[in-house]
Amino acid sequence: MNINELIAIDVHVHLETEMEDNEANTAAQKYFGKSGVGRNRYELAAYYRERKIGCVIFTVDERLTGRPPIPNDEIAAFAAENEDIMFAFASVDPTRGPQAVDEAKRLIAAGGIRGFKLHPPLQQFHPNDPKIYPFYEVINEAKLPVIFHTGHSGIGTGMPGGGGVRLKYGNPMDIDDVAVDFPDMPIIMAHPSFPWQDEAISICLHKPQVYIDLSGWSPKYFSPTLVQYANTLLKHKVLFGSDYPLIAPDRWLADFEKIAIKDEVRPLIMKENALRLFGLASQPTP
């Protein structure tokens, strides 16, 4: 990334297929509203480059919704083509056992990814399930970060039976065990973790390698407690994320301007915390 030219880094950007006639996609658009951005990857790159915003792109390797994931190698190649503004995270369904472990090893060895994205409610697992630990061991050894979806899921909202999505898998307290057992694996808890926001804040405050990204919600819906801690004890551990294409950065940033974040904290959230997390800048002074 050309970090000196970027005004922000969006750590939560989905690269998706352009398939629109999917029940889960339709329900998600109803829940989030029309974002005004498309799913075409070249439009995505142009959008972020025009705004001088860097981005972390990924897919979700899941079979629950019927939305086909984009292959990780394809995402890594696209990020390499646009390395001035983006880099890639991989997504592997960790419930696939030895196959998932081998795939993680292969992707790390190939060198085209900078971390992993997991979505427990869609991939249907508890993050602290010991069966998943061999997968984490590979990532922990490489000291790469993992983004975990936490909290409510907009995917499945309003569908019969929630589209099969079980919200219990999004409880961030499961991630506390993972943070204890894999201290060299940075963890990003994605989204304000409704209805477990206090739990997420506690974990982030307690575990040095755990961060929170603010994606998936308009800032105008952030809880007062989240804003309070983002301004104070967690000011070096909160990250800008949009959830593109479900929420466009233009909307997120406009709403972020209207909430009570301190002027000196805004640049930390927008860019500087991500630079440090990804090893692109020095650590903050206590």
Per-residue pLDDT of the chain (286 residues; tens, 9 = 90+): 888 899 999 999 999 876 556 666 665 565 566 655 777 899 999 999 999 999 999 999 988 887 788 999 999 999 999 999 999 999 999 999 999 999 999 999 999 999 999 999 999 999 999 999 999 999 999 999 999 999 999 888 888 999 999 999 999 999 999 999 999 999 999 999 999 999 999 999 999 999 999 999 999 999 999 999 999 999 999 999 999 999 999 999 999 999 999 999 999 999 999 999 999 875 554 5
**CA 61, CA 111: separation in Å to the nearest integer?**
19
Pick the CATH number of 3-277 from 3.40.50.11540, 3.50.50.60, 3.40.50.2000, 3.20.20.140: 3.20.20.140
pTM of the predicted model, to two decimals?
Answer: 0.93
Short-list 117, 120, 127, 22, CA closest to 67: 22
Q: Are 89 and 58 in contact (CB under 8 A)?
A: yes
Those residues with Cβ within 8 angstroms of residue 215's Cβ, 6 or more apart along the chain or in another chain: 10, 11, 12, 190, 191, 241, 242, 243, 247, 252
Domains of the chain, residue spans:
3-277
